[in-house]
Structure 1
Amino acid sequence: MNINLGNTIKLIRENKGLTQAYISDKILTQGNYSKFENLNLDIGGASLIAILNKLELSLEEFLFIKNNFTITERNSIIHKFHSLTYNDRKGLINLLNDIEKYSRRKNDFLIESIEKICKSLLIFIKTKDIENARIGINSIWTHLSKRNHLYISDIYLLNSILFFFPLQTGREIIKYLLRGIDKYKNFKDIEKMKINCLLNFSIFLIKNREYKDALIYIENAISMCKLYKYYSKITVCYIRKGICLNQINRECKSGLFWINKGFNLLKEMDETDLIIQLKDEIERLNYK
């Protein structure tokens, strides 16, 4: 039994001014509910979710409250990984240090996969040897490719390792990713995740000089950014659109138009860090 579970529920219920009878109605008998709050009865997951619905709490918010209004050590690692820029050497090292301190990382596929990805990214940053960097994360794709259904954590993992693979494997991964994402239609922040996948695959295609194909994914991302008003993301789309147009037709000036439009919008939004990152991206790819 988790000794804090019932106590936390009781404190929230009392703070909201709700009765045991209201919370337990059609879930548990009031007597059993009282035993649960007083740590004398375990309840099943379905009952817990039903109680949280009565309390108007998501499971995520409840766990945050239960952990004294902080995220757990494990969730902190996951959150940092989701927020990480993959060429951020310092951020990768800090995240690996957090993972090293996390005592329960063994036999945790997600945390162990994040650790492998961070190490592979650092190898690539240091050596630029993508085949050597790929060795550490091949097992992640092998494992996830056998699943009938991708979960949100799987989508984050695959999106982060996409560019390590050869072109044909990358095409397989993006199709697999987009099918998985489509099952989560209307789920929290899934549109942003899809845009991230489209943009990651676009830069993967650009690096492989598949500019016309990249443009298709970029235009799709632009449509989504406009629909959901993701303005910082649309600037990335515009700049990569310009890169593709420049490479498709060197004589055409429209590519420079889109690059300038993206950077001008970033300046208006005072996105200094993103401006530096995208200028570095253009420089590294020799698309001046």
Structure 2
Amino acid sequence: MSLPLGETFHDFREDKNLSLSQAAGDIVTKSFLSKFEKGGSSISFENLWLLLQRMNVTLSEFVYRAYGYMWTASVDFFHELTRAAVDENFSALDQLIADANARYQKSNLVSDHLNYIVARSVKFSLEDKQLPKEELDYVLDYLFRSEDWLRYDIEIMRFIIPFVPVDTLIQMARALLKHSSDFMKTGLNRTETGEILLNILALLIKNRKIHDAEVLFGLLHRNPTISSLILYSIQLHALKAALWFVSDQQDKGNAEIRWVLDTLHHLDQNRFARQISAQWNDLTGENLDFAQLFPNQQ
């Protein structure tokens, strides 16, 4: 498939209201950029990257538009799989399993075989069955061949962890925290990786791996990326409280904001609690005295 890179670049440049000279800068010539936009010349990845940076456009945004605002096949697959799992739609799961297997038989690609196994794992999970050991081993061998996991690998983990042995879960959690800090800075990656780590913690507790659970809890509690997930959610509750308060539901608003502050207090997030208190005062016009609510906190 030949992507319309030049045409896509032209669209972004027009959106930014930039002339050819402004977009080209000292990276390429104006005439070269004009030819590239019209499909008359190719461009090196390095120069395309620099031109996109100049326009404040990310590579993923550029590729997404070039593909006609369509997700890649793997992202579409995992979206469909998630939807089928949430709806417990077995007919959709069977179709996804069959399609993945058909692709694998034709392509012999590892990714197609992985997709087939992962789709089966979802169905087995809903049926409270165990994934065959050889299939689980195939997935784990793939994952631990390199622990520098990216989006596709994270998607696989989301579905496979209910079947992973406890000792391997501990290894997986440590590897995620060690190698994925940069990867987790992106919003969706952060959410999905955080979900995996919390699910691993839950499985450790369920299997009474107390020491390992305590260690992982400490790592997660000190991890700023994981903490931010919790704080985003709590801040949403704080805004909901303010919305209730200003829409003549003062009792509900007061109860919700008190829950927010109590929760932050128990999480040792008193600095953030003071910020929430200041935001409440600004949004509602009502004074919420943090020092009065928690007199023992500095």
Q: Same fold (TM over 0.5)?
A: yes
> Are residues 35 and 104 of structure 1, via their aligned partners in 2, closer, same or farther at CA, if it must alter by over 3 Å?
farther
1:23 to 2:23 alignment: yes
Distance, in Å, in 2 between the alignment partners of 1:103 and 1:31 is 45
Q: Match for residue 151 of structure 1?
A: 150
Q: Which runs of 5+ in 1 are unaligned?
A: 235-257, 259-288
Larger Rg: 2
1:173 to 2:176 alignment: no
Distance, in Å, in 2 between the alignment partners of 1:228 and 1:104 is 46
Moved more, 172-181 or 1-10: 1-10
Match of 2:115, SS state, is helix
Amino acid at match of 1:53: Q
Paired residues of 1:7 and 1:39 also in contact (CA < 8 A): yes
1:211-250 superposed matches below 5 A? 211=210, 213-214=212-213, 217=216, 224=227, 228-231=231-234
| Percent of residue pairs bearing the same amino acid type | 20
1:163 to 2:162 alignment: yes
Q: Which runs of 5+ in 2 are unaligned?
A: 238-262, 264-298
Cα deviation, 1:11-44, whole Å, max 9, x if unaligned, reads: 3322432111111223222222222112121112
Match of 1:118, SS state, is helix
> Are residues 64 and 105 of structure 1, via their aligned partners in 2, closer, same or farther at CA, if it must alter by over 3 Å?
farther
Q: Match for residue 275 of structure 1?
A: none
Paired residues of 2:35 and 2:41 also in contact (CA < 8 A): yes
Match of 2:18, SS state, is coil
> Are residues 154 and 138 of structure 1, via their aligned partners in 2, closer, same or farther at CA, if it must alter by over 3 Å?
same
Paired residues of 1:162 and 1:173 also in contact (CA < 8 A): no
Q: Match for residue 281 of structure 2?
A: none
TM-score by length of 1: 0.64
Deviation at 1:145, TM superposition (A): 1.0
Match of 1:71, SS state, is coil
Q: Match for residue 53 of structure 1?
A: 53
1:76 to 2:76 alignment: yes
Match of 1:197, SS state, is helix
Q: Match for residue 184 of structure 1?
A: 183
Distance, in Å, in 2 between the alignment partners of 1:62 and 1:15 is 13
Deviation at 1:102, TM superposition (A): 7.0
> Are residues 140 and 176 of structure 1, via their aligned partners in 2, closer, same or farther at CA, if it must alter by over 3 Å?
same
TM-score by length of 2: 0.62
Paired residues of 1:155 and 1:181 also in contact (CA < 8 A): no
Paired residues of 2:27 and 2:47 also in contact (CA < 8 A): yes
Q: Match for residue 197 of structure 1?
A: 196
Match of 1:150, SS state, is coil
Paired residues of 1:162 and 1:201 also in contact (CA < 8 A): yes
Paired residues of 2:97 and 2:119 also in contact (CA < 8 A): yes
Deviation at 1:142, TM superposition (A): 0.7
